[in-house]
Chains A and B, each alone.
Chain A
């Protein structure tokens, strides 16, 4: 159980963050400069807050009013960074056992073999970090943090330095760690996909303040990202896996508002998955279109339209629940006479939906 309620002033930037969470993965989400890395450093003890407290399992790590400050090495918080930061002069095995040696004996509950198996790093033990690939290094770094038997794991954009293939290799491992070792995780990220897939709850930071907090489905269900940047705006739809069209390599995803074809497998039918739709990938129509290549049509009602220069950001309440953001030009909105309450069809290209991390889910 981590409880955070801290403030920190750095010149003009004022950080003021409060949240509490106990289970699974809590994501700290925000763009760079939102204060998420500062918050992480405060939890890790690399920075001291000006106000407030941080408690872990009821014990204060820092409490400004009471003058408590536990130094980083006594906090029992495992850190996983963007770069693996493995010790270059030690073998993989020595790296893995480093933190274990410092952990109090009674707390060494996480078994070496279990971690090695889960992360699939048994064959690497004798090697030096210099002879590992980027993905292997990150797996070892996760194992090293886990084997220190921490009360909390802090992940600081652990996938940011990896390419897509490596990301898809590591993400299921983070899920397995979450499920098998029961260590609460605070996960800092600016990638909606990662947060959606991994986190049980999300704390959205903006300019040093908590902007939203809650289930990622709800937080991002209200479309995420800023209004100012249309490429940054996306929505998350919860859908059910339907039948496959093996001949074309497509899978049907069912939503009450319509059917979406996914370009790849999505696991067994009936499973619930989440997909991310970028606002700039959505077309709006009033009547069903024939003779177009776009197959995915979702029906709904316009809830709000916000204009910004030449653009209009519309939010659509989909039939049967869920919200979808779509951006169009202001001119198009006016030509179609769209306004709050208008019935619309939202068209999404299958090719614009990232099927890759849906297929890689291990619980399939």
Chain B
């Protein structure tokens, strides 16, 4: 029963690759967005905030369809992307984009809270010591927000591992290219005798999820100790 088929191994490896790439690729934009929402006042802030949270409230299929309209081969930006050598539809990279979009609100939320929790007086002190806004961000705000950034990244990673609706709508369910663990389980439940395979993948999914949670707990505890406030 615990002998995984090559297709199942492929699905597992693909899921991890997509989740890791989606998380890492959205990290810089996530941190920037979270910091901007936490610290800056700019016109249209509410709108930006709403836009960031949209994938959280929209049905995933809708998000996937919007991605298809915007980034698909015949989509609004598809031909342009293709002209610079980027094809997303029906590729694992497209799956990563879908997962990044779906995980983005969770990532930004956790990070924003973390930035908002930083004592502004520390940033002011940094400025009085001669550090420009960028240096203050890099040397004070960012390190102090690390626990929240880790939480945000783990949430986005977990979301990416489990993403199904937007992914399958945008990039379909192609074994070896876009078939993640979730999509593979779905496929297996649709064929006679697929239950055993579905069960195996389910157990794998649980193990990965637990490992990620435990790892995040350990990293976060370490990070919080480093930035423990004292006043």
Contacts and interface: CB of A to CB of B under 8 A. Distances in A.
A102 B135 contact: yes
B129 A98 contact: yes
Given A98-B126, A130-B230, A89 B143 contact: yes
B231 A84 contact: yes
B125 interface: yes
Given A85-B121, A89-B143, A89-B226, A72 B128 contact: yes
Interface residues of A, number: 29
Contacts of A79: 124-125, 128
Contacts of A144: 129
A76 B231 CA distance: 26
B228 interface: yes
Contacts of B126: 73, 87, 98
Interface in B126-140: 126-133, 135-136, 139-140
A19 interface: no
A162 B21 CA distance: 51
A196 interface: no
Contact of A46 (B124, B131, B136): B124
Contacts of A73: 126-133, 136
A84 B122 CA distance: 9
A83 B121 CA distance: 9
B119 interface: yes
Interface in B204-231: 226-231
A363 to B, nearest CB: 30
A302 interface: no
Given A73-B132, A148-B129, A129 B122 contact: no
Contacts of A345: none
Given A85-B122, A89-B226, A78 B144 contact: no
Interface of A: 44, 46, 71-79, 81, 83-85, 87-89, 98-99, 102-103, 128-130, 144-145, 148, 154
Closest 5 CB pairs of A and B: A102-B130, A99-B129, A130-B230, A79-B128, A85-B125
Interface of B: 119, 121-122, 124-133, 135-136, 139-140, 143-144, 226-231
8 contacts: A46-B124, A78-B129, A88-B229, A89-B143, A99-B131, A103-B130, A130-B229, A148-B130
